[in-house]
Structures are given as structure tokens and as C-alpha cells.
């Protein structure tokens, strides 16, 4: 089990923020450890999305009617670190990540608690979360469908097909958080299939759109507190490999397997 104090109880805002920032640092250490496993991991995107995951789980982890889906499933290392640090799973994922027979597979494993849906093929988490939100609406419940996806993932047509359904069914209890790290498997999103006018695209599908710094915990929490009578899209600017200077902003850091000595150096350099 982890050694981080719970953040579930009401505490002053500044203390809450400091706790969350401390958790993100521990999460980054776990992600680096998983990159030092026999299989390595998708470290670049895991380090870009981790602040968003920690912020979202801090607010909604106890809401049984709300589902949180990591649609960019290749960053499972970040999800496992989050679940572990919030005491939602017992075992340290870094101790068996990627090993034969381990539940800590390279993409989210629904056999683990609090993972409702095994994602991997990009674009599939969005309709799952939208369907959940629609179900809550039909049953007059107050739960949300929350999905965390990537900007490269928006090249999948299914994302926009789902946005069309969200608009058609007026699914306002839906939050789409886009980890805009600018990178994807084979390079920069802007070089492969640019996403022009992303704000206007979401607005054209009836979304309320907010742009935030995806590494600024105060901005993340404030965005999650927004009242919205439309589906909410949070376009979060992030840095691939955030926290590890050697790989920050480098799309080649999409996946890495690193030696233990490098992992130790990177963990010591975290601020």
C-alpha cells in the first residue's frame, strides 16, 4: 500500500493542492519504474496525462454514479499509478508491470478494480463514457461520463461520430478531457494529421469548451468545478514526458524501456 495521506476529507484548498502535487510526483516515480520494467511502457503520454488523472480522481473517486475512462489506453501506467496512490488497488503496479500473468497489462485491464472498460484501440473509450452518461440521464441520476483522451486520438472518426450523438441526445453530463501533448506514435500530430480549430470543432458539436494548462493542478480543479449545461470539453495543453527533462517534448519518447540506473537518475531529478 502507498504511504500518501488520503485527500478525501475536506481540507483547506492550498493544502489540498499541495497534497495533489505531491501525489503527482510519486505517480511519476511509479511510471518511471514501469518504464524500467522488462517490457518498458508508454512513458511519454503517461507523464503528460498524469496530472489530469490525479485531479479527476481526487474529485470523483467516491462518486459511484460517475464513470472515468482512460481512452488513450496505451498510457495505462499512469492509470495504474493513480489507482495505487489512491488506495483503489492493493498491489504496486511497478512490481509486476508487463510480466506474464500480471493484471498490470500494457493497456487498462478491466479485471482490476475501478477500471470499467479495457481500452486500447483508440477512440473506443469516448462512446463508452457517453453511453454511461446517457444512461444516467435516462434514469434521472446525477452521474457523469468522464473520458480522458489524446489529441492524436482525435484522428479517429469514432470520436466525432460520438460527438454527433452527444449533441443529438443532449448529453450534458459528459466531460471530455483532451491531453493535448502534440505527439503521437510516429511523430508530431501537426505533421501527421493536424487538428485545426479544435475549439471551434467541439463548439460546432454543441460543447462548452475550456482551455487549460494540463500540468497546473489549480486550473484542472477549477475546470472540473465549472457549471455546464452542455457537454464540457477541456482542452488541456501538456508536454509529452513532462517532469523528465531528457525526454520532455520529444515525440520519440512515446514508448521507452530504460535501465535501472537511468530510472534512478530520472526519479532524483523530479521536482
Tens of pLDDT, residues 125-139: 999 999 999 999 999
- In this prediction, residue 6 has a pLDDT band, given cuts at 50, 70 and 90, of very low
- In this prediction, residue 11 has a pLDDT band, given cuts at 50, 70 and 90, of low
CA 152/CA 253 separation, integer angstroms: 15
CA 265/CA 221 separation, integer angstroms: 31
Average pLDDT over residues 46-68: 95
Ramachandran area for residue 152 (φ above 0: left; ψ -120 to 50: alpha; else beta):
alpha
- Number of residues that this document lists for the chain: 271
- In this prediction, residue 9 has a pLDDT band, given cuts at 50, 70 and 90, of low
Does the structure show a pLDDT above 90 at 155?
Answer: yes
Average pLDDT over residues 163-170: 98
To the nearest whole percent, how much of the chain has pLDDT over 90? Answer: 87
Neighbours of 114 (CB within 10 A): 15
Does the structure show a pLDDT above 80 at 4?
Answer: no
Does the structure show a pLDDT above 90 at 14?
Answer: no
Tens of pLDDT, residues 59-116: 998 899 999 999 999 999 999 999 999 999 999 999 999 999 999 999 999 999 999 9
pLDDT score recorded for residue 225: 94
Predicted TM-score (pTM) of this structure? 0.93
Is the separation of the CB atoms in 143 and 173 below 8 Å?
A: yes
Question: Between vectors from CA 230 to CA 217 and to CA 72, what angle results, nearest 5°?
Answer: 50
Tens of pLDDT, residues 211-246: 999 999 999 999 999 999 999 999 999 999 999 999
pLDDT score recorded for residue 10: 57
Amino acid at each position: 500500500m502507498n504511504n500518501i495521506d488520503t485527500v478525501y476529507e475536506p481540507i483547506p484548498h492550498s493544502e489540498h493542492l499541495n497534497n495533489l502535487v505531491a501525489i503527482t510526483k510519486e505517480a511519476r516515480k511509479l511510471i518511471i519504474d514501469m518504464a524500467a520494467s522488462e517490457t518498458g511502457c508508454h512513458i511519454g503520454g503517461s507523464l503528460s496525462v498524469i496530472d489530469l488523472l490525479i485531479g479527476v480522481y481526487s474529485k470523483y473517486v467516491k462518486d459511484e454514479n460517475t464513470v472515468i475512462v482512460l481512452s488513450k489506453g496505451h498510457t495505462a501506467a499512469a492509470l495504474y499509478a493513480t489507482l495505487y496512490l489512491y488506495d483503489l488497488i492493493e498491489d504496486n503496479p511497478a512490481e509486476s508491470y508487463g510480466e506474464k500473468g500480471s493484471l498490470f497489462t500494457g493497456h487498462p485491464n478491466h479485471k482490476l478494480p475501478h477500471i470499467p472498460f479495457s481500452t486500447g484501440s483508440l477512440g473506443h473509450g469516448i462512446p463508452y463514457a457517453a453511453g454511461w452518461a446517457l444512461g444516467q440521464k435516462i434514469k434521472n441520476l446525477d452521474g457523469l461520463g468522464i473520458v480522458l483522451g489524446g489529441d492524436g486520438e482525435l484522428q479517429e472518426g469514432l470520436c466525432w461520430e460520438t460527438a454527433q450523438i452527444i449533441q443529438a441526445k443532449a448529453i450534458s453530463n459528459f466531460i471530455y478531457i483532451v491531453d493535448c501533448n502534440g505527439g503521437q506514435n510516429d511523430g508530431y500530430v501537426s505533421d501527421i494529421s493536424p487538428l485545426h480549430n479544435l475549439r471551434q470543432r467541439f463548439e460546432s458539436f454543441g460543447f462548452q469548451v475550456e482551455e487549460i494548462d494540463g500540468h497546473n493542478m489549480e486550473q484542472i480543479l477549477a475546470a472540473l468545478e465549472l457549471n455546464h449545461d452542455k457537454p464540457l470539453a477541456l482542452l488541456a495543453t501538456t508536454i509529452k514526458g513532462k517532469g523528465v527533462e531528457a525526454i520532455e517534448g520529444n515525440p520519440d519518447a512515446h514508448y521507452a524501456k530504460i535501465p535501472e540506473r537511468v530510472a534512478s537518475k530520472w526519479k532524483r531529478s523530479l521536482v
